[in-house]
C-alpha cells in the first residue's frame, strides 16, 4: 500500500508533561495534537499501549497485547466525571520532570484509581452503567482472561503464572471458576481500569482524526512470558510441558547494538499450532489494535520470514539459529480477514532477500534510519539516494540516540562522510545537526518521514528513550512542558513540510 506523502512525530504518551509523574491522555495530549496540526504533520506514531511490568518496556515487559496501560489514565478527567474530588488529588510536581520514576508513579496513580473505583462501585449500587456493561461485552474475548490474570497476579504477589498452583497454571476449568467467584472485586476493578483507559483513548483518537492526524500504532512481534497472552494460550508457545518455562527464547544475533546479540527472553511461538487455528490469535490481535489506531507498525517484521531461536537458559543470544516462519500464509489469511493491510514493516537488523521479498509482496513500507547511513559506503540502504518511494524514513527511532547524541558520539569517518554527503567540506561547518537531519529526512523521496520529538526539541543524549544494550533505566523520558511546543517552532516545521510537499 503506497501512502500519501506525509510526515509525523514519534512520541509515546508516557512522555507527555503531567502533574503526576508520567504522561497521560489529558490536556497535554490534546495540546500535542494541536501542535501536530499547526506544524503540518499528518501522523503520530506511538509505541505499544499495553500495561507494563518490571523495567516497563512496552515491547518485552507487557502483561497483555490487548489491554491498555492504566498509568496513562488522566486523573483530571475523572474529576470531571465525578469519580474523584479535585481537592483530594496531590500532584507529583517537583519531581524530575524529564524522567518517569515508576517506583513513585505506580503507587501514586493506584491510590487515585482505587478511589475512583470505590465511587464507581457506589454508583453501580444505584444504577447500572450501560456504557461500562457494553464495553465489557464488546471486549469479553480478551477482557475476562486479562482481568482474572491481573487479579491472580496480585493474589500471588506478582509471582509468574507458571509458579501458581498447578490447577491455575494449567487453567483447569473448576479452578478458574472458583477463583473467578473468589476474586470478583479485583476482577471488576481491572475491567473498570480498562474501561477508563479505552474511553479516554477513543476520545483522544477521535480528536486527532478530526484534526487530520492519523495514528501509527505498534505491534510487538513477541509477548512477555508472564502475560495473560501466554497463560491463556500456552499451546501457542514453545513451553516445557512440566515447568511451563520457554524451551526457546527470542532475540537477535550480534548486530549494530551488541556484539553478543540481543536476548529478549520472550517465548517463541509454536507456529504449527498457530497454523492449525488459521492464526486466529494473531488475526484477533490485529483487529483489536486497529480498533484504536489507524496504521500498524510491525516490530521485528523479519521474524515472520525467519526468527532467531535461542535455547532457554542461555545468557546471551550468540548460540541461536534461524528458523523459518509461515509469513506468506499468515499475511494471506490476515488480508482475507481485514482487506487492505494498513501495515508498516520494521525491517531493521539482519535483512535477507527473503525478508525483502515478503515485505514487497504485500507492498509494506520498510524503514530507513538516517543514523545508520554514514558508517559504510554509498551502497547503504539507509542513505537517501537509495530509497524507494514506498518507505518510511526516520532520523532515529526509539531505539536510537537522539540526533545530537548520535553526532556527539559518531566517529571521525562518519562525520566526514555525513559532511561530504550534505555538501560540506568539513563536519566543523555543520551546526544544529538535528535540523540538518530533519531536513534531510523530509526532503527525501520516502513517502513517509517520522521525526522523534526529541530531535525537534534539539535534545541530547539524556533524552534517549531506549538503549537496547541495557535493559535497565529505559522508557522513562518526558518533556517538561507543552510551552516547549511554541508557535515559532510550529512555523519552522510547517515551512519545511510545505517546502517538501508533506
Cβ count near 212 (within 10 Å) = 12
All 3 cell numbers of residue 279? 492464526
Helices (H), 183-296: 184-210, 228-232, 271-276, 280-289
Backbone CA torsion sign across 429, 435, 441, 443: negative
Q: What is the largest CA-CA distance in the chain?
A: 75
Question: 299 catalytic, yes or no?
Answer: yes
Point out which residues pair with 323 in neighbouring strands: 307
All 3 cell numbers of residue 153? 497476579
Using CB atoms within 10 A of its CB, is residue 101 exposed (0-12), middle (13-18) or buried (19+)? middle
Question: 428 catalytic, yes or no?
Answer: no
The pairing of strands 448-452 and 6-10 is parallel
All 3 cell numbers of residue 106? 505506580
Asked if 9 and 55 count as a contact pair (C-beta separation under 8 A), the reply is: no
Angle at which helix 184-210 crosses helix 102-126, to 10 degrees, equals 100
The pairing of strands 366-369 and 343-345 is unpaired
Instruction: Using alpha carbons, select from 447, 453, 433 the residue that is nearest to residue 493.
Output: 453
Q: What is the DSSP letter of 93?
A: B
Distances (CA, A) of 198 to 15, 68, 112, 134, 211: 18, 7, 18, 13, 20
First and final CA of the chain: distance in angstroms?
Answer: 18
Question: 399 catalytic, yes or no?
Answer: yes
Instruction: Using alpha carbons, select from 69, 46, 65, 30 the residue that is nearest to residue 296.
Output: 46
Q: Which of 229, 399, 414, 455 is catalytic?
A: 399
Cβ count near 229 (within 10 Å) = 28
Q: Which of 24, 346, 347, 414 is catalytic?
A: 346
Torsion angle, alpha carbons of 222, 223, 226, 232, to 10: -120
Q: Which of 145, 229, 299, 455 is catalytic?
A: 299
Residues tagged active-site: 299, 346, 399
Amino acid at each position: 500500500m503506497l501512502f500519501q506523502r506525509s510526515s509525523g512525530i514519534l512520541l509515546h504518551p508516557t512522555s507527555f508533561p503531567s502533574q503526576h509523574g508520567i504522561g497521560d491522555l489529558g490536556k497535554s495530549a490534546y495540546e500535542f495534537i494541536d501542535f501536530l496540526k499547526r506544524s503540518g504533520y499528518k501522523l503520530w506514531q506511538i509505541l505499544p499501549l499495553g500495561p507494563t511490568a518490571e523495567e516497563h518496556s512496552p515491547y518485552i515487559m507487557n502483561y497483555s497485547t490487548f489491554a491498555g496501560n492504566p498509568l496513562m489514565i488522566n486523573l483530571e478527567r475523572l474529576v470531571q466525571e465525578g469519580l474523584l474530588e479535585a481537592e483530594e488529588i496531590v500532584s507529583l510536581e517537583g519531581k524530575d520532570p524529564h524522567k518517569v520514576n515508576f517506583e513513585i508513579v505506580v503507587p501514586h496513580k493506584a491510590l487515585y484509581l482505587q478511589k475512583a473505583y470505590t465511587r464507581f462501585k457506589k454508583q453501580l449500587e444505584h444504577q447500572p452503567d450501560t456504557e461500562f456493561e457494553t464495553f465489557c461485552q464488546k471486549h469479553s474475548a480478551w477482557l475476562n482472561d486479562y482481568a482474572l490474570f491481573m487479579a491472580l497476579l496480585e493474589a500471588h504477589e506478582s509471582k509468574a503464572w507458571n509458579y501458581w498452583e498447578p490447577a491455575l497454571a494449567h487453567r483447569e476449568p473448576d479452578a478458574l471458576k472458583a477463583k473467578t467467584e473468589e476474586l470478583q472485586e479485583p476482577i471488576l476493578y481491572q475491567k473498570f481500569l480498562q474501561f477508563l483507559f479505552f474511553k479516554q483513548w477513543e476520545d483522544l483518537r477521535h480528536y486527532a482524526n478530526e484534526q487530520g492526524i492519523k495514528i501509527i500504532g505498534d505491534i510487538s512481534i513477541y509477548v512477555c512470558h508472564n502475560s495473560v497472552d501466554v497463560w491463556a494460550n500456552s499451546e501457542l508457545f514453545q513451553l516445557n510441558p512440566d515447568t511451563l518455562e520457554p524451551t526457546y527464547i527470542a532475540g537477535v544475533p550480534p548486530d549494530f547494538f551488541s556484539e553478543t546479540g540481543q536476548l529478549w527472553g520472550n517465548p517463541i511461538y509454536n507456529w504449527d499450532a498457530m497454523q492449525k487455528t488459521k492464526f486466529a490469535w494473531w488475526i484477533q490481535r490485529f483487529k483489536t489494535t486497529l480498533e484504536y489506531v489507524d496504521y500498524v507498525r510491525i516490530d521485528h517484521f523479519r521474524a515472520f520470514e525467519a526468527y532467531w531461536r535461542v535455547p532457554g537458559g542461555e545468557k546471551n543470544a550468540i548460540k541461536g539459529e534461524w528458523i523459518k516462519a509461515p509469513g506468506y500464509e499468515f499475511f494471506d489469511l490476515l488480508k482475507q480477514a481485514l482487506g487492505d493491510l494498513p501495515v508498516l514493516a520494521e525491517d531493521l537488523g539482519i535483512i535477507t532477500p527473503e525478508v525483502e521479498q515478503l515485505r514487497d509482496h504485500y507492498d509494506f513500507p520498510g524503514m530507513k534510519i538516517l543514523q545508520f547511513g554514514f558508517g559504510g559506503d554509498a551502497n547503504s540502504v539507509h542513505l537517501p539516494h537509495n530509497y524507494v518511494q514506498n518507505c518510511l524514513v526516520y532520523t532515529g527511532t526509539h531505539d536510537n540516540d537522539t540526533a545530537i547524541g548520535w553526532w556527539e558520539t559518531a566517529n571521525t569517518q562518519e562525520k566526514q562522510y555525513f559532511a561530504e554527503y550534505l555538501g560540506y567540506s568539513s563536519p566543523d561547518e555543520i551546526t544544529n545537526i538535528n535540523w540538518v537531519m530533519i531536513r534531510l529526512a523530509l526532503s527525501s523521496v520516502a513517502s513517509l518521514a517520522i521525526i522523534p520529538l526529541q530531535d525537534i526539541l534539539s535534545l541530547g543524549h539524556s533524552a534517549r528513550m531506549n538503549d537496547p544494550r541495557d535493559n535497565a533505566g529505559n522508557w522513562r523520558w518526558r518533556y517538561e512542558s507543552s510551552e516547549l511546543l511554541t508557535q515559532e517552532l510550529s512555523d519552522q516545521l510547517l515551512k519545511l513540510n510545505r517546502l517538501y510537499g508533506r
